[in-house]
C-alpha cells in the first residue's frame, strides 16, 4: 500500500508552521521581490493544454530523470517542514488582488520539480524558482546548494479574508485538498485521477507536471488554474475554478487521454482516513473515543435514492461497488460534529470538512453506467489514509480515447443537497443475543439511529417499521422505537451468519410508514469473525 497520508501530512505541517504576522501579511511587498512570470510570453488556453495532453499520450511515457541533491533528498520530516516560503515572494502578493500563491520546495519525498506559469492577457510566462524564496537555515542547508537541480513541488492558495491561512493546497502526485470556509481545517483530500486502485499489484499514481495560474482581475473572487498530468497509462489536462466561501467550491474540467487500456479508472477520487468509530472499534487502542476524518460514504443515485454507508477499518482489504447510472452525487462526509465524541483538542476531528462530488452532465448526457467504488484498507493508526472512493465507468478505456468529465467539488460541513428523508446519525454494533440469557448461537447486534425528515413530527404510536435485507444468514430481534433524546427513531436487530461461512454479509435497512420510506437507505458490510472465535463468545 502506498502511504497516501505521507504525501499530505507534510503539507499539513507546513500549513501549521509559523506564518507571517497579520501586520506583515497585510503589508505590500516590494514589487521586485514578488514571484511573477518572466521571459517571453507564449499563448495559452485550455484548448491548447488539451492538445498538449493528447500529444503526450501519443508517445511513450518519459519518466522524470531529475534527481535531488542529497542534502534535500535525505531531509528529515522536521527539516522539510522548516523550509518556510518567504511571504514577500508570494505570487500577486503586491498586486491588491483577492488571491495570492505561495510555493512548496522539492525535498524529502517530493523529488520531482513542477513547472509553474502565470497567465496574463492570454500569455503564459514561467515563474522561475529561486532559493531566496525559502528559509533554509532551520534545516541546516546552504541556499547555494539549492540553485541547481531544485524547484517547486507544489503550492498553496490564500484568500483575502485571512492571509494567515490557506484555502487550498496542491502537493504530491496529483493530490490536492481544501478547507471549507466554515471549518478552517484540512482533512480529507482529492486527486485528479485514480488508476488501478485496489488490485494486488502496485497502484499507479499520475502526477502533475505543470501548473498555469490565470491572473485574476481586481475584485475577482474565483481563481482559475490549469494543470498538465502524466503517468505511464494516461495523460490529462485539467482546469480548476476555485471559489472560497462557507463551502469552498471547485469546478473541475478534466480531459483524459489513455496511452493504453486501464483496468480500473477512478474519476473524481476522494481519499480519507477512518481509524475507528462508534460502529467499528476493532482497532480502538487510543484514549480518544473516535478517530476519523470521515465517517461515511453518502450517495444520491441516478434514480434518486439516498444511501449512507458507514466506513470501517477492516481486518482485510474491502472493495465495494455500488452500481448506478448517471449518479447525481457522492461524497465522503464527516457527519458527526460533536467534539465530545472525539475529545481531541489538538487536531479537532469534529471540524474536518466533508467533500461532495457533483457530476455535471455533458452534451451527450450524464456520466452513464458505472459504479461508485469504495476501497477500505486496514490501518494501524491515524497517520494513514485508508479510505478511497471514486466513480468507475462501466466502459473500459482504450488507447486513443478522449474522456471528458466535468464536476463540482463542495468542501465544507454542509453539503449542497440534503435528502428530505431522515438521515443516519449513528451506527453501533456489538455481540448479539439477550442480556443475561445463555446464547445458543452466535449473532451480531446492530443499532442504527435516524433523525430528521418527518420523524420528529410522527405520533409516538405511529406504525414505523424497519425494512431489512441481508445477503447471507438471517436477522432477528427486530425492534423500532422513538428516542426523545435525538428526536428520531432507533432500529435494533441481530444478524446470524451461516455457521460454516466467514464471508462478508451485505446489509440494507430503511424505515417506512404506510409503505413509503421515512429514511435514507443505510447499507453496511459486516464480516463475521472466524468460526473458532464465534465459539469463544458462546462459552
**Domain 423-538 belongs in CATH node 1.10.10.60:** no
pLDDT at residue 4, as a whole number: 44
Instruction: Count the Cβ atoms, other than its own, within 10 Å of residue 205.
Output: 19
Closest CA to 256 of 323, 174, 336: 174
Cα 212 to Cα 31, 39, 99, 133, 326: the distances in Å are 21, 15, 15, 19, 31
pLDDT at residue 539, as a whole number: 65
pTM to 2 decimals? 0.92
pLDDT at residue 183, as a whole number: 76
Domain boundaries, given as residue ranges, for the chain: 4-268+282-294+312-412, 423-538
Tell whether the model's pLDDT for residue 167 goes beyond 60.
yes
Mean pLDDT check: name the lowest of 65-74, 398-407, 489-498, 507-516: 65-74
What secondary structure, in 3-state letters, does 282-340 show?
Answer: CCCCCCCCCEECCCEEEEECCCCCEEEEECCCCCCCEEEEEEEECCCEEEEECCCCCHH
pLDDT at residue 3, as a whole number: 44
Q: What is the CA radius of gyration of the chain?
A: 25
Tell whether the model's pLDDT for residue 24 goes beyond 50.
no
Tell whether the model's pLDDT for residue 30 goes beyond 70.
no
The class level of CATH for 4-268+282-294+312-412 reads mainly beta
pLDDT at residue 138, as a whole number: 87
Task: Kindly state the cell numbers that stand for 531.
Answer: 468460526
pLDDT at residue 363, as a whole number: 60
Q: What is the DSSP string of 194-212?
A: EESTTSSSPPB--EEEEEE
Residues in a beta bridge with 357: 330, 409
Domains 4-268+282-294+312-412 and 423-538 share a fold: no
Cα 514 to Cα 464, 487, 501, 517: the distances in Å are 8, 20, 36, 9
Higher-pLDDT residue of 19 and 251 is 251
> What is the arithmetic mean of pLDDT over 330-337?
96
pLDDT 10s digits, 353-395: 999 999 998 766 789 999 999 999 999 999 999 999 999 999 9
Burial of 512 (0-12, 13-18, 19+ CB in 10 A): middle
Please tell me the distance from the alpha carbon of residue 296 to that of residue 147, in angstroms, as a whole number.
46
> Above pLDDT 90, what percent of the chain?
76
Helix (H) or strand (E) holding 80: helix 77-81
Residues 6+ apart with CB under 8 A from 398: 258, 260, 261
pLDDT at residue 22, as a whole number: 29
Higher-pLDDT residue of 470 and 26 is 470
> What is the arithmetic mean of pLDDT over 440-460?
94
Amino acid at each position: 500500500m502506498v502511504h497516501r497520508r505521507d504525501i499530505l501530512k507534510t503539507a499539513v505541517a507546513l500549513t501549521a508552521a509559523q506564518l507571517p504576522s497579520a501586520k506583515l501579511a497585510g503589508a505590500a511587498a516590494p514589487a521586485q521581490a514578488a514571484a511573477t512570470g518572466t521571459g517571453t510570453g507564449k499563448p495559452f488556453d485550455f484548448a491548447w493544454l488539451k492538445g498538449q495532453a493528447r500529444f503526450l499520450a501519443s508517445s511513450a511515457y518519459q519518466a522524470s530523470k531529475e534527481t535531488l541533491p542529497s542534502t534535500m533528498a535525505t531531509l528529515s520530516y522536521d527539516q522539510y517542514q522548516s523550509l518556510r516560503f518567504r511571504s514577500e515572494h508570494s505570487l500577486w502578493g503586491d498586486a491588491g488582488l483577492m488571491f495570492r500563491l505561495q510555493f512548496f520546495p522539492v525535498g524529502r519525498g517530493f523529488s520531482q520539480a513542477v513547472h509553474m506559469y502565470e497567465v496574463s492577457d492570454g500569455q503564459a510566462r514561467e515563474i522561475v524558482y529561486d532559493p531566496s524564496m525559502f528559509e533554509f537555515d532551520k534545516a541546516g542547508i546552504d541556499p547555494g546548494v539549492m540553485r541547481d537541480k531544485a524547484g517547486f513541488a507544489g503550492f498553496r492558495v490564500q484568500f483575502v479574508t485571512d492571509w494567515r491561512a490557506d484555502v487550498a493546497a496542491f502537493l504530491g502526485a496529483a493530490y490536492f485538498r481544501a478547507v471549507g470556509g466554515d471549518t478552517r481545517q484540512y482533512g480529507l483530500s482529492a486527486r485528479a485521477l485514480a488508476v488501478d486502485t485496489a488490485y494486488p499489484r502496485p497502484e499507479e499514481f499520475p502526477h502533475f507536471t505543470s501548473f498555469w495560474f490565470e491572473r485574476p482581475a481586481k475584485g475577482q473572487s474565483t481563481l482559475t488554474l490549469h494543470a498538465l498530468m502524466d503517468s505511464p497509462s494516461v495523460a490529462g489536462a485539467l482546469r480548476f475554478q476555485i471559489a472560497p466561501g462557507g463551502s469552498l467550491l471547485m469546478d473541475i474540467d478534466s480531459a483524459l487521454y489513455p496511452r493504453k487500456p486501464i483496468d480500473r479508472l477512478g474519476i473524481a477520487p476522494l481519499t480519507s482516513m477512518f481509524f475507528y468509530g462508534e460502529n467499528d472499534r476493532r482497532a480502538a487502542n487510543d484514549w480518544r473515543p473516535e478517530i476519523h476524518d470521515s465517517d461515511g460514504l453518502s450517495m444520491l443515485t441516478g434514480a434518486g435514492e439516498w444511501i449512507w454507508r458507514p466506513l470501517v477499518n477492516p481486518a482485510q482489504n474491502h472493495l465495494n461497488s455500488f452500481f448506478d447510472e448517471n449518479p447525481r452525487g457522492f461524497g465522503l462526509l464527516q457527519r458527526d460534529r460533536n467534539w465530545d465524541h472525539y475529545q481531541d483538542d489538538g487536531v479537532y476531528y469534529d471540524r474536518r470538512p466533508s467533500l461532495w462530488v457533483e457530476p455535471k452532465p455533458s452534451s451527450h448526457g450524464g456520466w452513464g453506467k458505472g459504479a461508485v467504488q469504495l476501497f477500505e484498507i486496514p490501518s494501524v493508526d491515524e497517520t494513514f489514509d485508508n479510505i478511497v472512493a471514486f466513480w468507475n465507468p462501466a466502459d473500459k478505456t482504450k488507447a486513443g480515447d478522449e474522456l471528458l468529465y466535468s464536476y463540482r467539488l463542495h468542501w465544507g460541513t454542509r453539503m449542497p443537497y440534503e435528502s428530505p428523508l431522515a438521515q443516519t446519525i449513528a451506527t453501533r454494533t456489538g455481540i448479539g443475543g439477550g442480556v443475561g440469557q445463555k446464547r445458543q448461537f452466535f449473532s451480531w447486534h446492530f443499532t442504527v439511529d435516524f433523525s430528521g425528515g418527518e420523524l420528529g413530527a410522527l405520533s409516538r404510536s405511529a406504525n414505523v417499521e424497519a425494512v431489512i435485507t441481508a445477503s447471507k444468514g438471517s436477522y432477528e430481534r427486530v425492534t423500532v422505537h422513538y428516542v426523545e433524546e435525538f428526536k428520531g427513531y432507533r432500529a435494533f436487530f441481530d444478524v446470524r451468519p451461516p455457521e460454516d461461512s466467514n464471508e462478508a454479509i451485505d446489509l440494507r435497512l430503511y424505515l417506512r410508514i404506510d409503505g413509503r420510506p421515512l429514511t435514507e437507505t443505510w447499507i453496511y458490510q459486516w464480516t463475521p469473525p472466524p468460526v473458532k472465535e464465534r465459539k469463544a463468545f458462546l462459552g
